[in-house]
Amino acid sequence: MALRKHFNPKHIPLMLMLSLAACQSPVVKKYPYLIKVRIEGCSEGTGIGRLFRPKALGLDLLDSAKLEQGQLVFRGVVEHPGIYDVFCHCGNKVTSNLNVYLPADSVEVTVTPGANLRPDIYQPAGLGPVGIGAYLLNARLFSTAPQQREVASYLITRDSIWNKYFLDRNRLKAKMDAAIGLGNKPEIDRWADSTRHVQEQFPAYLAAASELYIRRHPRSEIGIFALLDAGNDAATSKRLAPYYRAMPAAWQNSFFGKAAAERLHVTAATQAK
């Protein structure tokens, strides 16, 4: 009787609206991850790491860690499956940039600063003050996410072509230096122009790496990362936009897919309809 006394039929529409709104509220799924990184030779308290989520331009900081008991530990959740960046520092020196697929129940990494684990790709000298190299240069990474193997495959493709850029540039510069030594003005101008052309074409080398990977692995979701990893200049956008449009709508409409669309200045699938 007490319930009937306080019940007002006028409240029924409001209750229905609230119930419908609750049913329609999107449920954001969260995916747990665990990343453990050891930096060999790094003293306790001097090592730090930061976990970032890439976006169209730049990075969003998600997590940070200090070296404790010999390792950096990142533990949390992400809302969007994809490739995230972990930057590891020992003191003021960046020791490695890890491209990690998340979610993953367990990612274990050992970084060896100064190592060259892939001498077939990474040349020991002559590559400028920064050089090149993904984490494959100086880190061993194990992940429970099977997609991590595809990440490594892309990085090998990219770094091989990136390495070719430095070798091409240095080869032409050596010819120019030889011409300077001989005082041959026409040859100096010739090789100077060629060297400058290669330097200006650096974005094309990166675009070539992304294109090559996607053509070889058209069904790999890591292709979205390959697009995000390329430049955002007009020539790159024109070259890679067709590969984005050929991807499944689900990939295009993912968080990272939309970021790639923005980076390449193309329209996402849902917006195109």
Instruction: Write the burial class of residue 60 (CB in 10 Å: 0-12 exposed, 13-18 middle, 19+ buried).
Output: exposed
Phi/psi class of residue 40: alpha, beta or left (left: φ > 0; alpha: ψ in -120 to 50)? beta
Q: What is the pLDDT of residues 30-65, one digit of tens each?
A: 999 999 999 999 988 789 999 999 888 888 999 999
The predicted model gives 13-34 an average pLDDT of: 66
Q: What is the DSSP letter of 67?
A: -
Look at residue 84 and tell me whether its pLDDT is greater than 60.
yes
Whether residue 2 has pLDDT greater than 90: no
pTM across the whole model: 0.79
- Residue 21 confidence class, pLDDT cut points 50, 70, 90: very low
In CATH, what is the architecture of 31-145? Sandwich (2.60)
Helix (H) or strand (E) holding 110: strand 104-111
pLDDT of 231 over the 90 cut: no
Does residue 112 carry a pLDDT above 50? Answer: yes
**Are 132 and 166 in contact, with CB atoms under 8 Å apart?**
yes
Residue type, 62: L
Token match 């976006």: residue? 55
* For residue 271, pLDDT beyond 50: no
Q: Find which of 91-95, 159-163, 215-219 is predicted with most confidence, using mean pLDDT.
A: 215-219
pLDDT above 80 (res 176):
no
Tokens 């936009």 appear where?
241
Give the percent of the chain with pLDDT over 90. Answer: 49
For the chain, the farthest-separated pair of C-alpha atoms sits apart, in whole angstroms, at: 108
Question: Is the pLDDT assigned to residue 10 strictly greater than 60?
Answer: no
CA distance 235 to 203: 9
Per-domain residue ranges of the chain: 31-145, 155-272
Report the mean per-residue pLDDT for the chain. Answer: 82
Q: Is residue 252 predicted with pLDDT exceeding 70?
A: yes
Name the more confident of 9 and 97. 97
Average pLDDT estimate for 122-150: 80
Average pLDDT over residues 158-179: 76
CB 254 within 8 A of CB 224: yes
Identify the top-confidence range among 17-21, 43-47, 139-143, 235-239: 139-143
pLDDT on residue 211: 95
The residue-averaged pLDDT of 228-249 equals 92
Maximum mean pLDDT: which of 32-41, 201-210, 228-237:
32-41
Q: Which of 14-23, 99-108, 111-120, 208-217 has the lowest mean pLDDT?
A: 14-23
User: Which comes out higher in pLDDT, residue 194 or 121?
Assistant: 121
